[in-house]
Amino acid sequence: METAVADKPPQRRQGQFLRRVGSVLFWTAVVVLGAFGMYFSFANYPWFGAGVVLVIVLLIGNSERKRRATQKAREAARRQHRLSP
């Protein structure tokens, strides 16, 4: 019995695997360099480091506020669409 879905060729699977490994290595390097930068900033320039952390927290808070507003708008539109005839 044959299946409708064929296996991916080995080269394609290998390419996807290498892309994932490369992505993981890239983001690991970003996190390590970021952690070093934060440590260096706090160790040598405490006010600058505190400012950077404050800006990051504010950006995360603003992003979360926008995400919640968008989600609320989608939910309201979905409810309105469901109620309309």
Structural domains in the chain (count): 2
Q: Which residues of 31-40 are buried (b: 16+ CB within 10 A; e: fewer)?
A: eeeeeeeeee
The tens digit of pLDDT for each residue in 9-18 reads: 666 777 788 8
CA angle 80, 68, 59 (to 5 degrees): 155
pTM of the predicted protein model: 0.49
Same domain, 54 and 73: yes
Same domain for 85 and 50?
Answer: yes
How many Å apart are CA 1 and CA 18, to the nearest integer?
A: 33
Give the domain range for residue 64: 46-85
Tell me the per-residue pLDDT of 27-54, one tens digit each, with 9 for 90 and over: 999 999 988 888 887 888 888 878 888 9
Considering the domain architecture, whether residues 50 and 35 belong to the same structural domain is answered as no
Domain assignment of residue 85, yes or no: yes
* Residue 3 belongs to some domain of the structure: no
User: Is 4 within a domain?
Assistant: no
Instruction: Let me know if residue 79 belongs to a domain.
Output: yes
Same domain, 38 and 56: no
